[in-house]
Amino acid sequence: MTYLNRRQFLYSSAALAALSAISPHQASALTNADLGEPFDFTYEALVERAREAAAKPYVAPYRPMPEVVQEIDYDAHGKLKFKTDFAPFSGSGGAYPATFFHLGQFFGKAVAMHVVVNGVARRIEYSPELFKMPQDSPAHRLPADSGFAGFRLQEWHGADDWRTQDWVAFLGASYFRAIGASGQYGLSARGAVINAAVPDMVEEFPDFTEFYIDEAEDPENPVVICALLSGPSISGAFRFSIRRGLERTKGVVMDVESQLFLREDVERLGLMPLTSMFWYGEYGRERMRDWRPEVHDSDGFAMWTANGERLWRPLNNPPYATISAFSDENPRGFGLLQRDRNFDHYQDGVMYDRRPSLWVEPLAPLGRGYVELLEIPTDDEIHDNIGLFWVPEDPALKGAEYKLHYRLHWLDNEPYPAENIAQTVGTRMGRGGEPGKPRPDNLFKFVIDFDRPSVMTQIPYGIFPEVIVSTSAGRVIRTFAEPVPNGNIWRATIDLEIMPDEIAEMRAYLELDGKPLTETWLYQFDSRNVLASG
List pLDDT tens digits, range 265-278: 999 999 999 999 99
pLDDT band at 301; cut points 50, 70, 90: very high
Stretch 372-386: mean pLDDT: 95
Q: How far is CA 405 from CA 181, 191, 258, 272, 408, in A?
A: 23, 13, 7, 10, 10
Q: What pLDDT does residue 57 have?
A: 96
Q: How far is CA 116 from CA 68, 82, 88, 245, in A?
A: 32, 20, 10, 21
Domains 13-314+326-355+373-411 and 423-533 fall in the same CATH topology: no
Stretch 314-327: mean pLDDT: 95
Q: What is the pLDDT of residues 60-111, one digit of tens each?
A: 999 999 999 999 999 999 999 999 999 999 876 679 999 999 999 999 999 9
Q: What pLDDT does residue 90 have?
A: 87
Q: How far apart are CA 324 and CA 163, in angstroms?
A: 42
Q: What pLDDT does residue 450 have?
A: 95
Of the two residues 492 and 25, the one the predictor is more confident about is: 492
The rounded mean pLDDT for the chain is 90
Stretch 360-375: mean pLDDT: 98
Q: What pLDDT does residue 14 have?
A: 34
Other CB atoms within 10 A of residue 413 CB: 20
Contact criterion met (CB below 8 Å) for 475 and 497: yes
Of the two residues 433 and 171, the one the predictor is more confident about is: 171
- What is the DSSP track for 213-264? EE--SSTTSPEEEEEEEEETTEEEEEEEEEE--S-GGG-EEEEEEEEEEESS
CATH fit for domain 13-314+326-355+373-411, picks 2.70.98.10, 2.40.440.10, 1.10.760.10, 3.30.830.10 = 2.70.98.10
Q: How far apart are CA 520 and CA 305, in angstroms?
A: 11
- Look up the CATH number of domain 423-533: 2.60.40.10
Q: How far apart are CA 461 and CA 465, in angstroms?
A: 11
Contact criterion met (CB below 8 Å) for 317 and 372: no
Q: In sequence order, what E strands does 376-512 have?
A: 386-392, 401-411, 423-431, 443-451, 466-471, 475-483, 489-497, 503-512
pLDDT score of 23 more than 50 = no
pLDDT band at 454; cut points 50, 70, 90: confident
Q: What pLDDT does residue 530 have?
A: 60
Q: How far apart are CA 139 and CA 137, in angstroms?
A: 5
pLDDT score of 21 more than 60 = no
Stretch 498-516: mean pLDDT: 93
Stretch 192-217: mean pLDDT: 95
Give this prediction's pTM.
Answer: 0.92
Structural domain boundaries in the chain: 13-314+326-355+373-411, 423-533
